[in-house]
Amino acid sequence: CRRSCPGDVNPGKNGDMNDTRLSNVVINRSAARALGFASPSRSVGRIVGGDNPKQIIGVVEDMRFRSPREVLPPTMYLFQLDPLTNGTAVVRFTGDPKAFAAAAERAWRGVAPQVPFNGRTVLQSLGGFYKSDDQAASLFLIGSALAVAIGCVGLWGLASFTTARRIREIGIRKVLGASSLDVVKLLVGQFLKPVLIANVFAWPLAFIAMRGWLAGFDDRIALSPLFFLTASAMATAIAIATVSGQAIRASRATPAWALRHE
């Protein structure tokens, strides 16, 4: 893969094949590996190209210009005197992107008012490649939020029903010396066990699903156990927060009232 880098247009030297800049190239790290160099630094100064020899004068990091699902190709950057017919002007700036875009558009209209201005940042240009993943992430987030909400409502209802059934047991335990904290631990622990068991079964399924999704990306992160531990900790915290209200209310009941409760 080659990318042309146009220089300043100079009619006096346009097409001058004696210009040494035309025989120099810059490659990326992938190209250095593809050409068989042990390290990028060893490629600098070497001649490549066969019938059209070029001297490597530098090596740059791999830069992604297309979808993250595509493999980064070995790339050679060439200097070109002739202006490109279909090129893109790249400008570095600091400050507010919107303010700079407005200033750039005014300058563009002063030079070529008949040509529509199409200015965008690099993030906006690359954002299109991530659009489908962003949409999928939004749908997944909404579905997850609904699932958590439904689960919390169900867990709260089950906790309320179970606590009501065990209220006489709680009264007997308090008569025998159990503290309010002991009652809370008893009731909360009863609901934490199925939550933790569900997490253990969910880990392998989540790992397989995430690994399959990440396999579609050329440059991807490694799945760390920390991700699954964090999810389990959040699920446990949500379960505790949902059940604690019922457990604390039951623990505050007086033994006399609890024993008379039907």
Q: Which of 6 and 164 is assigned the larger pLDDT?
A: 164
The stretch 86-91 carries a mean pLDDT of 75
Question: Which residues are registered as beta bridge partners of 160?
Answer: none
Q: Bigger pLDDT: 6 or 101?
A: 101
Residue 59, beta-bridge partner list: 27
CA gap 105, 103 in Å, rounded: 5
Band of residue 256 on the pLDDT scale cut at 50, 70, 90: low
Question: So what's the pLDDT on residue 158?
Answer: 84
> Per residue in 139-157, pLDDT tens?
999 998 999 899 888 888 8
Report strand pairing: 47-48 vs 76-80: unpaired
Q: Quick one: pLDDT at residue 37?
A: 92
Cα→Cα distances 229→147, 201, 202, 204, 260, Å:
19, 13, 12, 13, 44
- Whether the predicted pLDDT of 221 surpasses 90: no
| Predicted local confidence at residue 218, as pLDDT | 84
Indicate the domain borders of the chain: 1-84, 128-260
Q: Which residue's structure tokens are 């409502």?
A: 153
Query: If pLDDT is split at 50, 70 and 90, which confidence band does 130 have?
Result: confident
CA 159 to chain centre: 36
Confidence band for 255, pLDDT divided at 50, 70 and 90 = low
Buried b (16+ CB within 10 A) or exposed e, 24-49: ebbbbbbbbbeeebeebeebbeeebe
